[in-house]
Amino acid sequence: MSALSDSETVMEKANVTLKNGSCDDPDQDDQDENDALARALDAQKSASFYTDAAAYWDKVPPTVNGMLGGFAHISSADISGSDLYLRGIFKMKNPPGHGRAVDCGAGIGRITKYLLQKHFGKVDLVEQCQNFIDRAKENFKGSKKIGEFICLGLQHFNPEPNTYDVIWCQWVLGHLTDDDLESFFIRMGKGLKPNGVIIVKENVTSSGEVELDEQDSSVTRCEQLLLEIIERTGMKVLRNTKQPNFPKGLYEVKMMCLKPKQSLN
């Protein structure tokens, strides 16, 4: 993770600002959006962007409900949607293998336990919070499917070349600055096996803007910005799908399958 556990809080923040009891002032709405964007950009420039997030997650209990920001009830639908999506990836032309995957921002290993270990021979877990790593080690004690436990923020994670069939990144990339996210995708591309892919599963805003969560020190990007960052890193989006069956009132969640363009030649 990059100071994020398994997931940041997924409830969408209100985007309406009231003025004199009304919410229909377009000029005020535009100003509010500009202010929100400026705060999100400024936060990423601050040295405390990462340390504040780490401090937040250090206080979160190592439970499924803690990982999901109080939304443990969506876990089953989340895993079902991911499983269906991953099975579709394995049916593509030149699909990834089932050898080794890595769970980025693994938390206590919810995704590894209920999804990844069912599809791969080995799964590594990358997680910044030592408390979560310790709980994950307890959860998977004796498991032959678990490879390494790597206590590290994603801004520092640099896998060896030709290591992974699938790199799974879910509800964690909002804890990377835009620049660090670009660098992350480039490093992950080098860490893939020839048919390997990166799976991104992230919230996207409905406002079309970048939204800052000051509580856990993260940003939620609009889909357009996320796709622009991916494009700049030389990645191609092979599949872009919406997570189904989530309750109303949550952010839209998109699942994207990425592959380095050079590997498609």
pLDDT, position 23:
33
pLDDT of residue 38: 79
13, 71, 198, 246 from 68: Cα distances, Å: 16, 5, 22, 13
pLDDT at 41: 77
Which residues of the chain fall below pLDDT 70? 1-34, 265
- Rounded distance between C-alpha atoms, residue 265 and residue 251, angstroms: 35
What would the pLDDT profile of 39-75 be if each residue is shown by its tens digit?
887 889 888 999 999 999 999 999 999 999 999 999 9
The model's pTM is 0.89
Q: pLDDT tens digits for 127-145? A: 999 999 999 999 999 999 9
Closest CA to 260 of 96, 83, 40, 58: 96
Cβ atoms of 174 and 203 closer than 8 Å: yes
pLDDT at 31: 64
